[in-house]
Structure 1
Amino acid sequence: MSSPEPSPYRHIVDHLNRQQSAQALALLAPMLAAEPDCAESWDYQLAACTMAGLHEEAEQAFLRCQQLGVVFPETLINAAHNAQRWGRPERLAYYAEQLLESGQAQHQLQGQRFLVDALWRQQRYPESLQACQQLLVIQPDDLRATRLLIKNLTRLDRPSEALAYANRALVQWPDDAQLLVLRIEAMTQIGAIPEALAAANQWIESHPSDLDPQILSTVCFFSQFDQTLTIAERRRRAERFGDFARRHASPYQSWLCLPDPERPLHVALLSGDMRNHPMGYFLEPLIREWQHRAITVSVYDTLDDHDSQTAKIRPLVDHWHSITKLTNQQAAELIHSQRVDILIDLHGHTTGQRLGVMAFKPAPVQVTWMGFQSTTGMTEVDYVLVDPRCVPPGCEQEFTEQVWRLPYTFCFMPIDLPIAVGPPPAEQNGFVTFGCLNKPNKINDSVLALWAKVLAATPHSRLLLKGKGFDIGDYREQFVRRLLLAGIDPDQVDLEGPCGRAEFLAAYQRIDIALDPFPYSGATTTVEALWCGVPVLAMAGNCMVWRMANSILTQAGHPEWLAEDAEQFVQLATSTASDVAALSSQRAVQQQQIGRSELFDSSRYADNLDSALRGMWQAYLSVGAVEQKQTNA
């Protein structure tokens, strides 16, 4: 009796089992050429292309299987995996639905998992939440579905439910760092920032050999909101992140850049915030200036979150690369191969950060700037760009980076929305309205205690606060309790949720005097208030994140609106509120005055920045790769 003839696909299967997609594709090519209508060959082609990351070819292979009328559940699963990696959620949803209709329990379960992911990627959060709940009924121990359930609740502004699920999940998976990050996000969304920091630090201390970079970075970010921390403590937390990043990278020791001190530079921006975001507004005038200068500008996009502001900025740069699907090492290899001279990080420890890329040192000069008003904690970042008011001489110990001072840090484009600046509302109301349109999570208990003194010292005054959180019942209820504990009558305060930018800016016409929070002071919000005719009162501050308003008010020509301490702040607020006529006359001319100030002189700002970048490049060439320690004054 003769033995059965071996399958012609056995070697292809062997290669696929060994993750050898190139070898499998090499065997499939002549088979498909000889038999182009063989569905089984196309099915294996789909599997091999998916494994190789050949997304378009994998999709074409699926469509060919479909045309030939042979689509197995495994075919759909491979096609779905390809759609996931390709970032095609609409195709992922299609494959998920097909699997759900297969009638086979195990494939339906896989289809439900794909559906949850597809709906999440399409930002269809209510439907994704429902799909998560359905999946967890069938598979209650599905960790990924549990994480997505919590994420959906957070996106749907249901932080208390998200926190409850995260707490329960951490009992089942106590060592899952992603669950802890989700718990921290839910806690911060209800205003429990100190508690969130404590939870993160407790996790770090209990997992010394299993640290997670996202948790370490999250701690660095939220430490900026904590007034009780010393500058040294904040720096140590950042250095902890830097040590971790360094252990997981192999920094480049040489680069492909031509060592010419005077040639045009290739400057790259590492950021996902080229959108309707403070960084997007800040960068647009600078990038417009760079169009007319001998400089090549590349963007390495860390988020792929695009909108109308992105559409303005993207055509202005020479090269735009998405690195959302690249590992830190792959992104570093790309940057290094493209001969970037100076790589500028614009995130620090904020959402979208890719400091892990900087750890590989893909460019000979690396800088952090603007996105995070403190140190990254990374020795691979050579410089931090600041100004003499944000970081006065003698305050360099806040940073691991070398301090390089520009004449001033901030520059903005005039706001391109019609702002009808009217008289101060106190003229009609008969009382003064203080206000703050900064993010509510900047308003800590110390801030409320100070503002309570301002309100008490200003008869009949009111306070207007606006931002994300005040539209969430749990957060609002918690905030009202904090008002009471600070000695503020909640009836004296208007709490309003977020809105579109035009309506947001119009809210300043209901405010007589803006109050700056601390230690996380306002930057974009300070400029917006000034542009809308509203004076901003701030404290001088003791660290960079606290001195942002200090720098802006000095640039705008109003250092008289700065207080050295809390007592002086109350006096400044009451004296400013007592002279409504002065408020009225100032309001009438303020927009025109600051429009002529350094805050909006983008050409001069670009000159200053270009000079700084040229100085960094020449300093690098003068000493090679040796790190410089002396602060540039």
Structure 2
Amino acid sequence: MLVQASRAAPDNSEILYNLGNARASLGEFDTAIIAYHQALALEPNRAEYHNNLGRALEGARRIGEAVEAYSRALALQPAFAGALTNLGNAYLDLGRPADALQCHRQAIAHQRDFDAAYSNLIFALNFDPAAGPHDHARERARFGDIHRPQLPAGAVSGRQRDPDRRLRIGYVSAHFRHQAATYAFAPVIIHHDRRAFEVICYSDTAPEDALTHKLRDSAKTWRSTADLSDAKLAALIKSDQIDILVDLVGHMVGNRLGVFAARPAPVQVTGWGEPTGTGLPAMDYLLGDPVLVSEPVRALLREQVIDLPCFLCFWTPESLPDPGPPPAVAAGHVTFGSFNRPAKLSDPVLRLWARILREAPTSRLVLKSPHLGDPAHQQRINAIFGSEGISPDRLTILGASDRGSHMKAYQLIDVALDPFPHGGGMTTLDATAMGVPVITCPGPTISSRLAAACLTALGLTDWIATSHEDYVALALRKAADLEGLASLRQSLRTRLSRSPVGDAATYTRAVEAAYRGIWQRHCEARDGS
């Protein structure tokens, strides 16, 4: 109807703007961009039009243009909190965490109850090399203090307090579709023990895809919740008599932490999506592992940490290509690589990698991410390496591809380099599945320890550096051992598949044992909390 209306009234900017919104909600970003431009041609001084154009441009992976659109919106309306936090997200994608944090803080200053800006700020801290565990904890606590539950846990504990009965597990996410984090939690839904657990999914996912449908088929009940307010979703969860409610998003975009703050279930857990802690007093547990969450950090969290074999599981919905031989054998030089998102490729990271390339003068570097097809990212990366004396012919920058082609691209690299201070979780496991070992240097924050946790679970601790100096030395030493790389390349996938990390059924049993344990503790508590 909106399309017909726009044709009938081509000079109506509101209709064109709403058409853009509708197209963007379906993931049709190119069409949405056209509609927004048409609306702006009629009314160029509408800040909300520029803001939503920026969001569509980000969706189309045109980050440089998105920054310009948000900046125009703010020139028209400087206190536009939505545009400020959107600009912050764009700056983060461009590897500018300090600018991102400044934008999010400005957005909060203009709109104190802006939950998305708080979450964006907390998420952006993961990328800030100057932020330590206490900085992370302080911002999470501020968010949590705003969302103290009105009711104690006992107010929703009217479930049958039988520690051994079949439990109703509710999963809340906007990410029930093909994307990295989903491959970590999807097997827990697909392989769940139907005799002991009943799974109910609360999905804000849009657009949906084949994995959405597979997950829907695996759940007892599937509820589409994108149109529900936090209050209505919380009421629905209460009426569904959920025993354990699980957040799969953390502080990433699309979270429903406002629902968890209302405590609609007697036991609440966060994990997998962004496992750094929520700060909510109503969030009882965080799924992690001993390496991911160090003892000093545990004392700073409001959640109690439940240790799994690894905070992630590796699962893939399709067969993987063969790892092939190390490319160094045919190429005559070692190729390093990183398939992490651009936000993790900050200037200090790229400069350290440039140092590795200088000290291994015949080596090459391959960078790949869906967003790296954007010229804005390519220009920044090339400029940094150029300033470090690395010629463009030693860099290969690859953008979006289907998952099969993405995994096949690991055949191009010998050794993967983990970024910092926000490392790669599923990216590390993807590389391992393709026979590519990963070098990492964990720090004190949870987000800096993702790769180290995965490598430790797989018995690959000799790939974990203790400092940036050690990181460079380790990269050079491992890259020089071509025989060792060849042997490891052929064994890594088997090592992964035989571990609790890569065996989806075994991993699921560990998660379900954790659920049973926390439910038993709930039943044993005198107040039911």
User: Normalised by the size of structure 2, how large is the TM-score?
Assistant: 0.93
Conserved 8 A contact 1:328-1:354? yes
2:394 is matched with 492
One-letter code of the match for 2:121? V
One-letter code of the match for 1:417? S
Separation of aligned partners in 2, 1:619 and 1:609: 15
Conserved 8 A contact 1:289-1:603? yes
**Does residue 570 in structure 1 map to residue 461 in structure 2?**
no
**Does residue 545 in structure 1 map to residue 455 in structure 2?**
no
1:412 is matched with 314
Aligned-pair CA distance for 1:303: 2.6
Q: 1:254-273 alignment to 2 at 5 Å? A: 254-273=156-175
1:47 is matched with none
One-letter code of the match for 1:563? A
Aligned-pair CA distance for 1:485: 4.2
Greater mean deviation of Cα atoms: 274-283 or 617-626: 617-626
Q: Deviations over 1:271-305 (max 9, x none)?
A: 12221112322223222321444111111112333
**Does residue 151 in structure 1 map to residue 61 in structure 2?**
no
**Does residue 235 in structure 1 map to residue 134 in structure 2?**
no
Q: Secondary structure at the match of 1:453?
A: helix
Q: 1:131-530 alignment to 2 at 5 Å? A: 131-204=35-108, 206-207=109-110, 210-246=112-148, 253-413=155-315, 416-486=318-388, 488-530=390-432
Q: Secondary structure at the match of 1:572?
A: helix
**Does residue 561 in structure 1 map to residue 463 in structure 2?**
yes
Aligned-pair CA distance for 1:110: 4.9
Q: Secondary structure at the match of 1:400?
A: coil
Conserved 8 A contact 1:518-1:546? yes
Q: Deviations over 1:428-477 (max 9, x none)?
A: 11111111111121122222232233223323111111113321112211
Aligned-pair CA distance for 1:414: 5.3
One-letter code of the match for 2:66? A
Conserved 8 A contact 1:268-1:343? yes
Separation of aligned partners in 2, 1:341 and 1:436: 40
Conserved 8 A contact 2:2-2:15? no
Name the Cα RMSD after superposition: 2.3
Conserved 8 A contact 1:291-1:317? no
Separation of aligned partners in 2, 1:553 and 1:175: 45
Cα distance 1:625–1:215, how it changes in 2: closer, same or farther (>3 A)? farther
Conserved 8 A contact 1:255-1:339? no
Separation of aligned partners in 2, 1:360 and 1:232: 26
Greater mean deviation of Cα atoms: 617-626 or 548-557: 617-626
One-letter code of the match for 2:38? Q
Aligned-pair CA distance for 1:397: 2.6
Separation of aligned partners in 2, 1:448 and 1:498: 21
**Does residue 598 in structure 1 map to residue 500 in structure 2?**
yes
Conserved 8 A contact 2:89-2:120? no
Aligned-pair CA distance for 1:327: 0.6
Cα distance 1:611–1:469, how it changes in 2: closer, same or farther (>3 A)? closer
Aligned-pair CA distance for 1:625: 4.8
Aligned-pair CA distance for 1:530: 1.1
Q: Deviations over 1:355-385 (max 9, x none)?
A: 0000100001011111113111111101111
Separation of aligned partners in 1, 2:443 and 2:16: 52
Cα distance 1:441–1:625, how it changes in 2: closer, same or farther (>3 A)? farther
Conserved 8 A contact 1:424-1:587? yes
Separation of aligned partners in 1, 2:338 and 2:264: 41
Q: Secondary structure at the match of 2:276?
A: coil
Q: Deviations over 1:63-90 (max 9, x none)?
A: xxxxxxxxxxxxxxxxxxxxxxxxxxxx
Identify the structure with bigger relative contact order (alpha carbons < 8 Å, sequence gap 6+): 2
Q: Secondary structure at the match of 1:358?
A: helix
Separation of aligned partners in 2, 1:564 and 1:115: 53
Q: Deviations over 1:544-582 (max 9, x none)?
A: 222221121122222211112222222221221112122
Conserved 8 A contact 1:93-1:119? no
**Identity of paired residues, percent?**
33
Conserved 8 A contact 2:23-2:32? yes
1:63 is matched with none
Separation of aligned partners in 2, 1:353 and 1:616: 23
- The structure that has the greater radius of gyration is 1
Cα distance 1:414–1:183, how it changes in 2: closer, same or farther (>3 A)? closer
Q: Deviations over 1:370-418 (max 9, x none)?
A: 1113111111101111111112334313422122222432222356234
Separation of aligned partners in 2, 1:448 and 1:122: 35
Cα distance 1:123–1:287, how it changes in 2: closer, same or farther (>3 A)? closer
One-letter code of the match for 1:145? Y
Conserved 8 A contact 2:70-2:87? yes
Conserved 8 A contact 1:166-1:182? yes
Aligned-pair CA distance for 1:510: 1.1
Separation of aligned partners in 1, 2:65 and 2:488: 47
Conserved 8 A contact 2:80-2:107? no
One-letter code of the match for 1:274? F
One-letter code of the match for 1:191? G
1:13 is matched with none
Conserved 8 A contact 1:302-1:353? no
Separation of aligned partners in 1, 2:521 and 2:179: 33
Greater mean deviation of Cα atoms: 398-407 or 520-529: 398-407
Cα distance 1:601–1:255, how it changes in 2: closer, same or farther (>3 A)? same
Aligned-pair CA distance for 1:487: 5.2
Q: Deviations over 1:245-290 (max 9, x none)?
A: 338x667723442122221111111112221112322223222321
Greater mean deviation of Cα atoms: 108-117 or 360-369: 108-117
Q: Secondary structure at the match of 1:376?
A: coil
Separation of aligned partners in 1, 2:14 and 2:469: 63
Q: Deviations over 1:177-216 (max 9, x none)?
A: 2111222233234333321212222343x43x63411111
Q: Secondary structure at the match of 1:175?
A: coil
Greater mean deviation of Cα atoms: 232-241 or 280-289: 280-289
One-letter code of the match for 2:60? L
One-letter code of the match for 2:513? S
